[in-house]
Amino acid sequence: MFELIDEIMGLSLKSENLGFGHMAARAFVMYLALIVVVRMAKKRFLSNATAFDFILTVMVGAIAARAMTGGAPFFVSLLGLLVLVWMHWVFSAVARRSVKFSQLIKGNSTLLVKDGHIDTKALRAAHMSVEDLQGDLREKGVSEPSQATEARLERSGKLSVIKK
C-alpha cells in the first residue's frame, strides 16, 4: 500500500524529480488535508483577526507549499500542520480564560482619539501619522477627530470608531 502511495505522490523522490502527476496527487491530498485542518481550527484564524491568527495562516501556507513541492517530507509536514492548529486552538482557549495571556499573544487595542482629541503619544507609539488617522477616520465616515467620542487601533490593526 505504501509503495502505491509513494508511486502516485512521489514521496521518495527529490523535488526536482517530481512529475506533473506527482504534483497533481500532492495538490489533491494537500487540498483535502487543508480542508480538514481549517475545519479543525477556530473560524477566526483565517480572518487574520490578530497577528496571532495571521502567523498561523502564513505558517500553514508555507508548510503546505513545501510539502506539495517536495521541499519537505509530505506526511511529516501534514503532522506539523496539525500540531500548529492544535497549538493555536489551545492558546486561543487559554487566552479566552486569561486576560494576561490574551494580551501577551494578541496584544491590546490602543486609544488614539478620546472625546474628539488625538492622543499624539499613542499615535506615535502606533507608528501612525495624523494623516493616517484622518484617512482611517474618513473610511469610517468621520471627517474630523472632533466628531469621534473614541477611536481605537484594534488588535487586528483596524481602526474602530465611536461617533459622537
Say how many Å lie between the first and final Cα of the chain, rounded: 67
Q: How many CB atoms lie within 10 A of CB 121?
A: 8
CB-CB contact of 41 with 53 (8 Å): no
Fold entry, domain 108-163: CRO Repressor (3.30.240)
Q: What does each of the 164 residues of the chain score in pLDDT, given as a tens digit?
A: 889 999 999 999 998 999 999 999 999 999 999 988 888 776 666 666 788 888 888 999 999 999 999 999 999 999 999 999 899 989 989 999 999 999 999 899 999 999 999 999 999 999 999 999 999 999 999 999 999 999 999 988 899 999 98
pTM over 0.85: no
Domain definitions of the chain by residue range = 2-104, 108-163
